Amino acid sequence: MLCSVLAGVYNEVLLKGAESAKRGVTTNLQNAFMYCQSILVNGVILIWEGKAGDAVSAENRAAIASFKVFAIISIMSSVGLVTGFFLKHLDSVLKAVASALEVVFTMLLGFLLFGAPLGLSGLTSATLVGAGVALYARPVPVRPLPEDELKIV
């Protein structure tokens, strides 16, 4: 999770940095770097824990080569690409709201498409996400300034 957060922050710096346009760093290039970093870190962790052989075993490759896993990989890859475009044009707070909504939609689509069970923890998280989005979407009340603060300089 730490690597993901650091990659997201670094990606935002690349996207919104003043020099990014001069360096020719496109959204697709940044997404490629972020995915490569994730692959590299996961590979290092598998080797460190001595589970690299298990990860590439024949039975694990067979489990990965199914339609359902391919569909999940495709959906999550498209989410990653959309995240890059969110960060390009919006701020990280709206990206966090989109990620929170992603949790809810992933749970619901997993239930509808793959028959994944809806447990109490999933429903609780969906409720918390919904409450958080509702709080964020509330309009901020604008208070009028007192007359003594309306002085023209």
Average pLDDT over all residues of the chain: 75
Please give the pLDDT value at position 3: 63
**Model pLDDT for residues 71-122, shown as the tens digit of each residue:** 888 887 777 677 666 666 666 666 667 777 777 888 888 888 888 888 888 8
More confident site: 23 or 129: 129
- pTM value is 0.41
Please give the pLDDT value at position 92: 60
Please give the pLDDT value at position 112: 86
Q: In this structure, are residues 114 and 153 in contact, taking their beta carbons and an 8 Å threshold?
A: no
Please give the pLDDT value at position 118: 83
Burial code of 16-35, b = ≥16 C-beta within 10 A, e = fewer?
eeeebeeeebebeebbeebe
